Structure 1
Amino acid sequence: MGTHVIKMPDIGEGIAEVELSQWHVKVGDLVVEDQVLADVMTDKAMVDIPSPVHGKVIALGGQPGEVMAVGSVLISIEVEGAGNLKESAAPAPVAAKEPPAAAKVEAVVESKPAAAAAPRPAPACQGPMVAREADERPLASPAVRKHALDLGIQLRLVRGTGPAGRVLHEDLDAYLAQGQTNASAPAAAAYAQRHDEEQIPVIGMRRKIAQRMQDATQRAAHFSYVEEIDVTAIEELRAHLNEKHGASRGKLTLLPFLVRALVVALRDFPQMNARYDDEAQVITRLGAVHVGVATQSDVGLMVPVVRHAEARSLWDSAAEISRLANAARNGKASRDELSGSTITLTSLGALGGIVSTPVLNLPEVAIVGVNKIVERPMVVKGQVVIRKMMNLSSSFDHRVVDGMDAALFIQAIRGLLEQPATLFVE
């Protein structure tokens, strides 16, 4: 038997250290080639670190939340034969468009049936329930943990079928189907006192989000401006376009129309499409409109970037927004896809509420927040009619943007959305 030592890889772009976000294996686990061993966090992007060999994990080089230098020992794996006596860096991190780790592991196992002598993970036991130590924390996303808590399920009792034993939403459903929960307990149990606590380390993406939000609120002079918009006409246009072209070009949401409105309005308000370097005291106004679209994922808020929105049609913008949102939610968005925005659009869709106060995405100077659409009685030409209304709740950096300019900018967007033909008049 030999030992294969994997070092923290060089992820590129001059990064000297990264944060170890999560282990997908533990000491004693059998792993196969290309199986994801760990997640590491750069400035914005989460990166998978795969295994270059088959073997057994004998040592881990750090704890989740630890910042590790490039080239430091990440993990040691016991392998058949003499092993790799020379310490080696981990293989290239998994690219954003590569298939999920689980699919890759399955492909490796199927393509190498002759390598029977190599260690393989023990086959998973059937059934949704598994016994773990009381202090053992199973792998699961924050969304799955919350779902389990809402259902009253002890996560340590649920067998995970995801990569490295990760517990999925489907595993919770299987657990419920087996009747392993306390669902039939008397209703009075819902009122029982609880004294449990859970400490959740602020690491990985959540740490980056916390740092950026704190930095933004401490450095920028935020002010917000809220305006009401009648979106009846543009919603009618959207419905018409979807009915006529939805099957061939894809369905349109309101977001690509908002992106188009930003692009057109910024022609008259270039000071909004800017970055402010407060250390150098320099404002950079950009001709290109790179729109950040705030997207919620299991690991927290991410902002993938629709590049050169000024050169995109409605359907091109819609397709790019959808592609980037899926990549962000699946943890596959690349570093380039999560950086370089010039202005940000944030929306919670149907959960958008009436008013919000978005936090700037520094070093940008403006962020446009979209609230939910509601039907309300409005007075139009002396008559009370039902209209679809929506608020825009937007924030600006008062160090760079004057209040009057901010108000005029949002009013320009309002005019474009209320008279949607003007979005396409050159």
Structure 2
Amino acid sequence: MAKPGIFLALLLTFWGWAGVLRVPGDFASLQDALAAAEPGDEIHLAPGRYVGEFLLSKPVRLVGSGAERTILAALAVHPVIRVTEGEVELAHLTVVKGIGWRADVGIDVLSGKLVLSHSTVRVRGGTGIKVKNGEVEMVCTLLAGCLTGVELHEPEACLVARESRIEGNTWGAVVWAGRAQFVGCVFAENETGLDVQGGEVSVLGCRFESNELAVSRKAGTISGGANFFQGNAQDVQGAVPRGFRAPREGPRCEVVHFPSPEYATLGEAVEAVVPGGTLVITSGSEVEARLTLDKALTIRSSGEGPATLWATWNTPGRGPVLTLLSGAEVHLVGVNLETESYEPAVVLYGEGVLRAEDGRFSSRGDGPRGGLVRLFDDSQAEFVRCRFSSGTEGESICLLLEGQARALVEDSWFEGYTLFGIEAREGPRSGVETTASWAPGWPSRAA
């Protein structure tokens, strides 16, 4: 004999209303409820742990009894949840997978649409949400403890995340292709918060806190603004638009001195300087740092001797000592930049501008791969009375230009072991002008 709950669900479906199926109660297992559900039905899960591989191939709504009390898990290599068609809603539950295999996936969206709200996804050593050709709308959801929190793979993939938290992952979100929008989200304590490898990404009003690298853009497009960055080892790697980072709150000064008891790190001192102001670093001091700048700023030594900014393999974050984005117009006076890893000393993206006087750009160890100082896109640099040293034998280039970048080198010196002192690639306008500069024993491939 059919249970009353099943009869009621069939009756409501007959009248065109969504049915409510309960597990346990109407059905002994979630798999049975999914098999019996009609399009538009709602399945309510009592508190507990539900183990299996759940295929969602029709428009249903799956509602737990709270994310902390309703757990969906799988022990095999297959995803916990697989969405193949229709619009599926998941709310107030947790999806976990703990085998630790790199190929593990918590929720696999092959096609159709998934609406995920007030839930948690944790996949140790794997991917929390994988979007191939489908669409995901994520609201007030936590992605934590994953190798990758969420990733988009195909041009048809789409993600809209609102007021969600992406925390404690190796990569918080990775976009290979497709479209992604993050609004009011928090990226915290990830090794890389947002990694843009392709596609179109919009980031509006998000917070990036205590990440090793907050935002990395290698390809694709990124837009947005009013995003807050705090406590990251490195804020941005790659080109982002002007206004992408919101100005930090707090008092601003025309001139800031460092080291100073007022500022724990060089990054804090930089943020305290108003656009167009000056940061004065004590002559002879050596400061370990990685800086990302998108404003006009003068950085100079306090006296006749130089000040040195440097980074090693162990310096928090990744990337060069100094990264300049669009909006940055930086003037270095008597400041040396030194790297002890394969990372460059300086990288310019977008329309970043650098003028350096009486400084030294150098590397220790094998030297950076691909350029001690690198200029991309439409960036510009001018070097006056500077020295470039590649350190010990390696495969690096002291000054490398790509895209439409341009550089002027005056009265400067190149030394060390490397392939080329200066190289310009790609764009028809990319090139270098040199005046009274020396590169002993090196060829130059300036366009």
- Report the TM range for the smaller structure's normalisation: under 0.3
When normalised by structure 1's length, the TM-score is 0.23
Q: As a proportion of its length, which structure holds more strand?
A: 2
TM-score by length of 2: 0.22
Q: Which has the higher contact order (CA 8 A, sep 6+)?
A: 1
